[in-house]
Structure 1
Amino acid sequence: MSKNIARKSILFACAAIVCAASAQARDLENPAEAFGHRANIQSIALSPSGERVVYLGPGPGEETRVYVADVGGGPSSIVTTTDGDPMEMDWCRFVNEERLVCEIYALVEDAHNIYPVSRLFAVDDDAGEPRTLGQRDNGFRNNRQFDGEIIDWLPGEDETVMMSRVYVPEAYRGDTRVVDRDEGLGVVRIDTRSGRTRRIEAPAWQSSRFLSDGRGNVRMKGTVSIRGATNMLDTDRHYYYRLADDNEWREFGTYNSLEDEGFYPLAVDHDLNAVYGLEELDGRDALYRISLDGSMTRELVFSHDTVDVSRLVRLGRQRRVIGVGYSDDYSRIEYFDPQLRALSTALRDALPGNPVVGFVDASDDEQRLLVRASSDTNPGRYYVFDRTSGALNEILLARPELEGVALSRVRPVRYPAADGTMIPGYLTLPPGSDGRGLPAIVMPHGGPEARDTWGFDWLAQFYAHQGYAVLQPNFRGSAGYGADWLATNGFQSWETAIGDVNDGARWLVSEGIANADQIAGVGWSYGGYAVLQSAVIEPGLFRAIVAIAPVTDLPALREDARAYANGRNVAEYLGSGPHLVAGSPARHAERVTAPVLLFHGDQDIDVAIGQSRRMNGRLRDAGRSSELVVFENLDHGLRDSAVRAQMLERSDAFLREALGL
C-alpha cells in the first residue's frame, strides 16, 4: 500500500457504540467529578475476526466491568464484574470469537504484611463456563501468590493458550505418599474450556521467565538466584536460549536489574529466528536483535541520540514486532513494517489534531486494526480500521465525561537549573490564558525512574481547568534520557533532583508565568516526596504542598522493604549513609513552613501509609499546618472515581485558600 493510496482510501463511519458529540465547547457542572472519573477504557482487544471488541470500564466505586460489543454497531454487554473487595479486573482478551481469558488481582493482608496476588481465568462472553487456569488449590499446599502469565496465544488453536505457570508443592497429604512436589515456574499448554494441560517445561524454582516465538515454541528462559542465606532475590537474571530445532538450553547472557546492565530480552521473532531486546549504547537504551541460530550475531536495530528506546511495539495475538517507541518532546513510534508506517501517516492526516496514533490490536489476518488516536487535548478515541474497505469506524471514547470540554494545550519546555543544565518538562496553561501572572503548580512525577510524556494528563488538566499553570519537570533522576540523566537515582541523588524541581518554580516566576507568592507543589508517590523535601530545603518556595501517597522517611522505607523478597534490592537502590536521614522530610518537619495536605490509601503496598502518618504526626508536633486524608481499602493508584473526585475537589479548595485565590 503506497502512502497516497492509504490517504485516499480512508473513509469515516460512526458505530452505534458511540457517536462523536458536538465539537461546541461546554461547561462542566462538577469539574472534579469529570476529571477524576476513571478512564472508560482500561484494557481493550479485538476478537480474532476483528468483528468484536472486549474492554474494561469503570463501574461505581472500585467496580470494574468487562464489556463485549460488535464493532459494527449495537450496545455493549457486560460479561462480568469485580468490585475491588478485594479482587480487581486487570485485563481481558479473546481466545476465540466467544471465549475470553482475563486476569484479576487483589491485595491480601495477613498478620504482618499486605501483598498482591493474581489469578487467570477463562469465561464465555455470556459469563458461561468459567475456568481457572492456575494450579489447582487444595488443602495440602500453601496458596500461591500468582498463577503465571500467557506467553503465547496460539492463534489457530481454538481455545488453547500457552502459559508460564507457578507451582507450589504440597506439604503433606494425610497418610498417602503420593505428594505433589512440583515447585517454581513451568510452562503448559492449557485448554481454556476443559482445563486439560500438556506440560511443555517442567517447573523449577530458579525459573523466572519464559519467552515464546508466537508459534508455540519456547525459545528463551530466564533464571534468578537467591542471595546466600538471606532468602532475598539476587539482581542478576541469567538467560538461556534454544536453537529452532533443538531442546538443549544454551547460555545467552546476564542482565542486572539494579544496574540495568546487559541485554534485556523483549520478544522472539520466529521468522527472523532472533530475539529483540534493550541494551545500553552510549549511555542510552537502544534496541538490538540477536540471532538465535547459534551464531549470536548482534544487530543494532534502533537508537536515538538523546533519549532511550522505551518500548517494543507489537501487534495482534501473534504479538508480531512492528516497531519501536520512544519519547523526546513528543511520543513517537518508528515502524519497521512499511505498510503500517504509511498507514500511520495517512491516519494522522485523516485525524487532524491527533498526532499520537497507534495500532492497539489486530484481527488474526491483520485486515482489521484497532486504532487509538489522542493528543494533549484529546484523552483518546478508539477506531477500527478495515484495510480492505478503507473504512475508519469510531467505536469508543476514553473519557466521554470530557467530550466537548475545552482542554488545555501542553507545551514542551526547557529551563535552566542552577548549574546551567537545561531541564526538560511540560507546561500546561489554562484554556484561553495568556500565560502571565498565574497561580502555578510544580508537579514532579512519581518513580523516580519514570518520566512525564506529552499528551493528556488528568491531574494536570484538572488544575489547568481550575486556572493554574502546571509545570511537570523531568528532573535529573528521571528515566528516558539515558544513564547520565538517571544518575544514581532520585533518592540517592535527591539533592540534584529536588534542586531541578525547585529551579522549575523559579523559572515560572522569571518568565512572568507565575506569581512568586502563588506557587504550590503537588505530587504523587516520589512526586509527593519531592515537593515535601523541597519544603524542607527551601522553606517558603512553595506556599502550599499537596502530597499523594508520598515517601517521607527513607530509613523507614528500607525497613518496610525487608518483609519482601526484593528487600535487599530495595536497600541497595536506596543506598546507605547520611543522605537517607538528610533526604527524609519527616525527619525535618520543623523546617516546613507551608501548609500540607496529604492523601493516602490504607492498602498501599508501594508506599506504606505509615509514611504519610509519620509526616503528618511530625508536622503537627512541630506546630505546622497539616492534614491527612485516609482512603480506606484503596491502594497506591486510588482506583475509585468518587475518591479521585473528592481528592481533586479538596486539594483545589486547599490550594485556593493557601494561595489567597
Structure 2
Amino acid sequence: MDGRDALVTVALDPGRARTVIFSHPDVDVSGLIRVGRDRRVVGASYVTDHRQAVYFDEQAQALISSLGKALGGKAVNISDMSRDGNRVLIWAGSDVDPGQYYLFDRAARKLSPIMPDRPELAGRVLATMQSVQYKAGDGTMIPAYLTLPPGKETAKGLPAIVLPHGGPEARNEWGFDWMVQYYAARGFAVLQPQFRGSAGFGEAWLMRNGYRSWRTAIGDVIDAGRWLVAQGIANPDKLTIAGWSYGGYAALQAQAVDPALFKAVVAIAPVTDFADRMRRSQYFSNYLLQQQRMGTGPEAAEASPSNHAAEFRAPVLMFHGTDDNNVDISQAKIMQAKLQGAGKRSQLVIYDGLTHSLLDSDARADMLQKSADFLLAAGK
C-alpha cells in the first residue's frame, strides 16, 4: 500500500475483494502475531525505531500490556499457549537483556521464569542501543542504531565500527545483538546504518536493492562513518568497518568509494565477485532471478570489490566457512588473491565444515576475538 507492505484480506470468490486490515504510513508491516496450537492470528507487527505490534484480539493486547509492565517495559512476545489459553509461554528481553522465557498461569496470575537465553551473561553490564539519524550526502536522513561501550556513553574519540547488516533485503532492529555487545565490551562505538537498500521501509527505500543500487547504499554506509567522526564519537584514526554477508560486501566495497576513511576492514562470508557468483548460480532454478538481482556485464564488474583491490588502503581480515551454500568460499578466496596480488595487507581465516552462519561456539568466539584485536590495531 503506497509502496509499503500491508496486511490485507482477499475474498476467496471470483470478485476477490481486498480489504486492508492494517498498514503503517512509514514502514512495512513485517509479520503476523500468532498464538496457540492452531496458530490463531491475533495481531501484526512492524518496526520503526523498535518493533511495535497492533493487536486485533483484546485479550492478547491486555495480556501483553500487563506482562510488559510487570517485566519493566521489556519487549514481550507470546511463544506458545495451551489449548485452553490458560498457560502462556512468553519471551521477554531488551537491548541489555538477551532474553528470558517465562510461563504465565492466567488462573493463578503467576509468572514463573523458565530459562534464560544466555545464562553466561547474567550479572554482566551490557551496552544500551539507541536510535539515531544522520544525514547522507544528498540530504536524506538515514536511521541507525548507535551502541556505546558501557560507562562511556558521553565519551569522545572512541575506536568505532560501522556495522552494515546482511541481506541486503533486511534490516537491524533494536534489541540484544551478540556481535554489537562484544565489540562494545571491547571499547568500540558501534553504528548500524539502515542504508537505502534495506528492507522494511517500503519500495522507494529498497530501491533496486543494495547490489544494483550499490552506489547509494554504500554511500549511506560511508556517510555513517563520516557522521561518527563529525560528532566526535569516533577517533578518525580508529574508524573501522565490519560486516557479514552483504555487510561484508559493503565493508569491502566502501574501499572502492573512499579508501581513506576506514582504517581497517573485517568481512565475514562476503560477496566479492559477481561474475563468479553468477557462474556458480547457473545450474540453479533461481538463476535468472539472481541475475536480475546482481546485474551483469560492466555494471556487475564495477560493483564487485574484487575488481577494486588495487584501490584498497586499509588492511583486510576475512572469515569464511568451507561449507557455505549461500556465499561460496570462492568469493573470499578470489578477494584474498586479488588483494595479495595488488600487494595489499589481507588475511583470510577459514573454518572447515562450517556454513554461512558459522554456527559453532568456538568458531564464533575465535572470529570475535580475532576481529576485535585486528580492528583495535587500526592506525598503528
TM-score normalised to structure 2 length: 0.98
Counterpart of 1:565 (choices 285, 299, 303) is 285
Aligned pair partner of 2:221 in 479, 482, 501:
501
Which residue of structure 1 lines up, in the alignment, with residue 110 of structure 2?
Answer: 391
Query: Where do residues 550-629 of structure 1 align in structure 2 (5 Å cutoff)?
Result: 550-629=270-349
Measured in 2, the distance between the counterparts of 1:300 and 1:311 equals 15
Shift of 1:316: 2.0
Give the whole-Å Cα distance in 1 for the aligned partners of 2:62 and 2:171.
29
Amino acid at match of 2:232: G
1:573 Cα deviation from its structure 2 partner = 1.4
Residue equivalent to 1:400? 119
Kept in 1: contact 2:323–2:354 (CA 8 A): yes
Q: Shift in Å at residue 435 of structure 1? A: 3.5
Q: How does 1:219-238 map to 2 (within 5 A)?
A: none
User: Which residue of structure 2 lines up, in the alignment, with residue 416 of structure 1?
Assistant: 135
Distance 2:113 2:17 in 1: 44
Q: Aligned residue pairs: how many?
A: 379
Query: Of the candidates 376, 381, 385, which is equivalent to residue 100 of structure 2?
Result: 381
Choose from 360, 363, 367 the match for 2:86.
367
Q: Tell me which residue corresponds to 1:350.
A: 70
Deviation at 1:579, TM superposition (A): 2.0
1:652 aligns with 2:372: yes
Aligned-pair distance for 1:353? Answer: 4.4
Query: C-alpha distance in 1, partners of 2:363/2:106?
Result: 42
Corresponding residue for 2:231?
511
RMSD: 1.0
Q: Deviations over 1:425-480 (max 9, x none)?
A: 10000001024111100000000000001101100110001100000000000000
Shift of 1:596: 0.3
Q: Does 1:317 align with 2:7?
A: no
Q: CA deviation at 1:592?
A: 0.5
Separation in 1 of the partners of 2:284 and 2:9? 34
Deviation of 1:516 after TM superposition, in Å, equals 1.1
Q: Residues 435 and 469 of structure 1 are in contact (CA less than 8 Å); yes or no, is this contact kept in structure 2?
A: no
**Residue 323 (structure 2) pairs with residue 631 (structure 1):** no
Counterparts of 1:94-493 in structure 2, within 5 Å, are 281-292=1-12, 295-354=15-74, 356-433=75-152, 434-493=154-213
Tell me the CA shift for residue 387 of structure 1: 1.2
Distance 1:624 1:366 in 2: 61
CA distance in 2, matches of 1:569, 1:559: 14
Partner Cα distance (2:88, 2:311) in 1? 56
Give the aligned partner of residue 641 of structure 1: 361
Structure 2 counterpart of 1:519, one-letter code: L
The 5-angstrom pairing of residues 77-96 of structure 1 reads none
Does the 8 Å CA contact 1:441/1:469 hold for their aligned counterparts? yes
C-alpha distance in 2 between matches for 1:627 and 1:367: 56
Worse-matched range after superposition: 510-519 or 498-507: 510-519
C-alpha contact 1:479 1:485 (8 A) present in aligned 2: yes
What is the distance in 1 between the residues matched to 2:103 and 2:306? 51
> What is the CA deviation profile of residues 76-116 of structure 1, one whole-angstrom value per residue up to 9, with x for unaligned ones?
xxxxxxxxxxxxxxxxxxxxxxxxxxxxxxxxxxxxxxxxx
Q: State the SS of the aligned residue for 2:377.
A: helix
Q: Distance in 1 between matches of 2:18 and 2:375?
A: 54
Question: Highest CA radius of gyration, 1 or 2?
Answer: 1
Higher strand share: 1
Give the CA deviation at 1:294.
Answer: 5.4
Pairwise CA distance, 1:332: 1.1
User: Identity over aligned residues, as a percent?
Assistant: 51
Output the CA distance in 2 between the equivalents of 1:462 and 1:513.
18
Q: CA deviation at 1:577?
A: 3.9
In the alignment, the residues of structure 2 paired with residue 527 and residue 579 of structure 1 have an alpha-carbon distance, to the nearest angstrom, of 20
Give the Cα separation in 2 of the matches to 1:578 and 1:625: 27
Partner of 2:249: 529
Q: Is the partner of 1:379 in helix, strand or coil?
A: strand
Separation in 2 of the partners of 1:399 and 1:497? Answer: 34
CA distance in 1 between counterparts of 2:220 and 2:248 reads: 15
Amino acid of the structure 2 residue aligned with 1:510: A
Could you give the per-residue CA deviations for residues 503-541 of structure 1, whole angstroms, max 9, x where no partner exists? 000000111111111111100000000010001221121
Separation (CA, whole Å) in 1 of partners of 2:79 and 2:13: 31
CA distance in structure 1 between the aligned counterparts of 2:242 and 2:222, rounded to whole angstroms: 12
Instruction: Kindly state the Cα deviation for residue 578 of structure 1 after the two structures are TM-superposed.
Output: 2.2
In the TM superposition, residue 308 of structure 1 has moved relative to its aligned partner by 0.2
Q: 1:296, CA displacement in angstroms?
A: 2.5
Matched to 2:208, the amino acid is T
CA contact (8 A) 1:449 1:486 kept: yes
Tell me, yes or no, if the aligned pair for 1:601 and 1:630 is still in contact at 8 Å: yes
Q: CA deviation at 1:569?
A: 1.2
User: Unpaired runs of 5+ in structure 2?
Assistant: none
Give the Cα–Cα distance (whole angstroms) in 2 for the partners of residues 413 and 463 of structure 1: 19
Partner of 1:539: 259
Provide, for residues 53-89 of structure 1, a one-character-per-residue CA deviation record: whole Å limited to 9, x for no partner: xxxxxxxxxxxxxxxxxxxxxxxxxxxxxxxxxxxxx
Higher helix share: 2
